Amino acid sequence: MSASRTAPTPELPQLRLALPGKGTLEAATLTFLAECGLKVQRSNPRQYLARISSLPELEVVFQRAADIPALVHDGDAILGITGYDLFAEYRGTDEEAEDNEESDDDLMVLERDLGYGSCRLVVAVPETWIDVNTCADLWHLAGYYQAQKGRGLRIATKYPALTRRFLHRHGISHCRIVMPHGALEAAPLTGVADLIVDLTETGTTLRENHLKLLEDGIVLRSQACLIGNVRLLAEHPQALKVARLLLELITARLQARNRVLLTAYVPGSGEEVSSLLSMHLKRLVPGFEYHIGSSESTDDPQAQRCRVSGVIRMGEAVADFLEIITALRSVGAEQIDVTPLAYRFGQEPVSLRQLSERMARRR
C-alpha cells in the first residue's frame, strides 16, 4: 500500500498583530481599533503582549512603529499597523504599484489610509536661503556647492531610500545623505547638515527652527496603514480568516466615519412623499442618498406616513445637512433623528479583492 504524498502544511505560526507601542501612532491606533470593535486589552504601557477580546485567536505585540514592517516581512507578525512612510522606506519605494501589484514580496499594504497619523515627508531648507524655493533651485545650489566648496549639499534624514529616489527623480546629484541622531530640525542650525528631509504635520516644528518647505518638496504623504505578510496569509486559512475579518471591520468603519443616519416619518404615501421631497430638495445634495420606505398601513388615510432615511457626511458639509433638515420639515416631518454610523458595509472591500489577487499570483 503506497501512502499518498501531499505537501506538508507549514506549521501554523502564532497569529500576531504588531502595533506601535509608543510615539504618535500608539494612542491613535488603540482608539481606531476600539472604534472598529477591536478593543485591545492593555493594562499598562510597559506591557508588550495583549489580546483583543472580540478576536481571541489574535495576539497583539507592541513594537516601535519603525520596526513593524520588518517584523511582518519576517513573519514574526502576520499583520501590522504602522506609518506608510515607514513601510515605504523599508520597501525602498513610494510607488503603490509596487506595493500591491507587481511586487512578489511577502509584505503587502492591505489598507493604505486608516484615516489618522497624517503627515508629510518633506524637503525643508533654511529660511535664509531666499532664492531657494523649488527643487530646480536646489539643483542649481547643489551644483554651486560642488563647484565652489568642493562638496555637495548635506541632507539630514531618517529616510535615506525615499530621499535618494526623490533626488534622483529631480535629477539632483552632488548631495550626501547624513543620518544624525536626535531631532533632524536642529541639523542645519548646528551645522551638521545643510537641509533636511523629515516629517511634518502642522509645520510648527519647521517654522520654530527657521526652516521652510520647498514648494514642490513633498516626498511622500503618509497615514497609518495596515500591512500583512501575504505568504503566511496564503498558507494558513486561519490567518487569512483573521485578516478578512479585520479588513471587513476596518473598511466598514472607514466608510462610516463622519457619516450620520437621518431618520424621519413624513405624512403621506410613498409617492406623495417622494415627489414633495424632490421639490423641496431643489438640488441633489452631494453625498445624500435617501430611501423612502413603503407607507405604513392604516385604516385612516389621513394617518398614512412613510419612513424616510438617508446617510450623509457630516463635518465640512453642515450647510448641506441643514438643507436636508429644512426640506424634511417642509414636507411635514415632525421629528428627525440623527445617529452616527458605526459601520457601513458595501460590496466586498477592494482591499480584500487585491489581497485575493495577490495570493492567487503566488500560486
Ligand X SMILES: O=P(O)(O)OC[C@H]1O[C@H](OP(=O)(O)OP(=O)(O)O)[C@H](O)[C@@H]1O
Ligand Y SMILES: Nc1ncnc2c1ncn2[C@@H]1O[C@H](COP(=O)(O)OP(=O)(O)OP(=O)(O)O)[C@@H](O)[C@H]1O
Q: Which residues bind ligand X (CB under 6 A)?
A: 23-24, 183, 185, 198-205
CA distance 157 to 178: 7
Among ligand X, ligand Y, none, partner that 117 touches (CB below 5 to 8 angstroms by kind): ligand Y
The entry of ligand X, ligand Y, none that residue 203 binds, CB within 5 to 8 Å by partner kind: ligand X
For ligand Y, the binding residues in 167-226 under the rule CB under 6 A are 199, 201, 222
Secondary structure class of 167 (helix, strand, coil): helix
Binding part of the chain for ligand Y, among 41-49, 63-71, 251-259, 336-344 by CB under 6 A, reads: 63-71
Q: Which is nearer to ligand Y, 118 or 356 (CB)?
A: 118
Rounded to 10°, the helix 160-169/84-91 angle is 80
Helix 318-330 to helix 270-280 angle (10° resolution) is: 130
Select the residue interacting with ligand Y from 30, 52, 61, 65 (CB under 6 A): 65
Give the nearer residue to ligand Y in terms of CB position, either 199 or 256. Answer: 199
Measured distance CA(244)–CA(231) in Å, rounded: 15
| First CA to last CA distance, the chain | 31
Closer residue to ligand Y (CB): 111 or 235: 111
Pair 117, 235: CB distance under 8 Å? no
Q: Name the minimum Å distance from CB 62 to ligand Y.
A: 10
Cα(78)–Cα(72) distance, integer angstroms? 6
Rank residues 38 and 214 by Cβ distance to ligand X and give the closer one. 214
Can you tell me which of 76, 85, 111, 185 binds ligand Y, judged by CB under 6 A?
A: 85
C-alpha span between 227 and 100 (Å, rounded): 11
Nearer to ligand X, 14 or 190 (CB): 190
Cα–Cα–Cα angle for 218, 222, 228, rounded to 5 degrees:
140
CB 26 within 8 A of CB 20: yes
* Binding residue (CB under 6 A) for ligand Y from 15, 17, 119, 328: 119
Q: How far is the CB of 156 from ligand Y (least distance, A)?
A: 14
Residue 24 is a binding residue for ligand Y (CB under 6 A): yes
Element (H, E) at 84: helix 84-91
Nearer to ligand Y, 83 or 188 (CB): 83
Please report how close the Cβ of residue 345 comes to ligand X at its closest, in angstroms: 34
Q: CA dihedral in degrees (329, 332, 338, 343; nearest 10)?
A: -120
From the list 17, 18, 19, 25, which residue makes contact with ligand Y (rule: CB under 6 A)? 25
Interaction partner, residue 135 (ligand X, ligand Y, none; CB < 5-8 Å by kind):
none
Position 86 contacts ligand Y (CB under 6 A): yes
Residues in the chain: 363
Q: Residue 183 binds which one of ligand Y, ligand X, none, with CB within 5 to 8 A depending on kind?
A: ligand X
Cell output for 155: 541632507
| Residue (76 or 185) nearer to ligand Y, CB | 185
Q: How far apart are CA 312 and CA 206, in angstroms?
A: 37
258 interacts with, out of ligand X, ligand Y, none, CB within 5 to 8 A per kind: none
Q: How far is the CB of 193 from ligand Y (least distance, A)?
A: 18
What does the DSSP assignment read for 120-144? Answer: EEEEEEETT-TT--SHHHHHHHHHH
DSSP for residue 67: G
The torsion angles phi and psi of 172, rounded to 5 degrees, stand at: -90, 115
Tell me whether residue 88 or residue 246 sits nearer to ligand X (CB atom). Answer: 88
Question: Which listed range, 60-68, 126-134, 164-172, 271-279, lies at the site for ligand Y (CB under 6 A)?
Answer: 60-68
What is d(CA 87, CA 107) in angstroms, rounded to the nearest whole number? 9
Site residues (vs ligand Y, CB under 6 A):
22-25, 64-66, 83, 85-86, 117-119, 199, 201, 222
